[in-house]
């Protein structure tokens, strides 16, 4: 993998995240319901109608749950995929020490694990030895083990800002 390949992979992850945010925005608009009712996905021998989506979106309680899960998926994909691509590239190019030296590395690694494991912190011995970890104005402490987070601690702003840290690292500090 070249640095250009890595930059392209990050760009693809970012574009997918933005497309997902666009879908989220449309899902919050009742004007999208008739369009969803008349469109479907066809792949191989399968046809998936979007009636279920419309039914979820029409009910305020169900919509809140479904869209929250959708947003978690978007955050998970952007952070996890970007982190893993950078990790793979750094390992392949003997730059892993530079990756680990980033001020946000340990925080990002734990957030990546958090997003990958049901949005709950599950600290191992290695994690516990490094806690507390602070990035910007967010601190992860050992008392958070087994807990989830609300959007006031980790949401789209933080996801985007961490992704920007990844992008800056790849662009400006990797060979």
- Residue 149's pLDDT is 84
d(CA 135, CA 7) in angstroms, rounded, equals 23
Distances in Å between the alpha carbon of 157 and those of 33, 52, 54, 161, 163? Answer: 28, 30, 28, 6, 10
- Residue 31's pLDDT is 95
Q: Which residues pair with 133 in a beta bridge?
A: 140
- Residue 151's pLDDT is 86
By the 8 A CB rule, do 56 and 63 touch? yes
Both tokens assigned to 43: 């792949």
- Residue 62's pLDDT is 95
What is the tens place of the pLDDT at every residue in 38-94?
A: 999 999 999 999 999 999 999 999 999 999 999 999 999 999 999 999 999 999 999
Strands 133-135 and 46-49, bridge-based pairing? unpaired
- Residue 118's pLDDT is 83
By the 8 A CB rule, do 43 and 126 touch? no
What is the tens place of the pLDDT at every residue in 117-131?
A: 888 999 999 999 999
- Residue 150's pLDDT is 83
What is the tens place of the pLDDT at every residue in 115-169?
A: 998 889 999 999 999 999 999 999 999 999 999 988 889 999 999 999 999 999 9
What is the tens place of the pLDDT at every residue in 6-23?
A: 999 999 999 999 999 999
Alpha carbon 79 to its chain centroid, in Å, reads 4
């Amino acid at each position: 993998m070249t640095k250009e390949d890595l930059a392209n992979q990050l760009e693809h992850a970012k574009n997918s995240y933005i497309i997902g945010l666009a879908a989220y925005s449309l899902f919050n608009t009742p004007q999208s319901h008739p369009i969803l009712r008349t469109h479907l996905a066809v792949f191989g021998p399968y046809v998936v109608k979007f009636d279920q989506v419309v039914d979820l979106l029409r009910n305020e309680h169900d919509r809140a749950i479904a869209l929250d899960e959708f947003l978690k998926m978007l955050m998970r994909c952007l952070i996890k995929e970007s982190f893993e691509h950078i990790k793979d590239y750094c390992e392949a190019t003997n730059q892993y020490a530079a990756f680990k030296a980033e001020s946000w590395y340990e925080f990002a690694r734990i957030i990546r694990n958090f997003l990958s494991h049901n949005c709950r912190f599950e600290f191992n011995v290695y994690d516990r030895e490094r806690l507390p970890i602070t990035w910007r104005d967010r601190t992860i402490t050992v008392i958070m083990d087994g807990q989830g987070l609300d959007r006031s601690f980790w949401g789209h702003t933080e996801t985007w800002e961490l992704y920007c840290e990844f992008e800056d690292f790849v662009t400006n500090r990797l060979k």
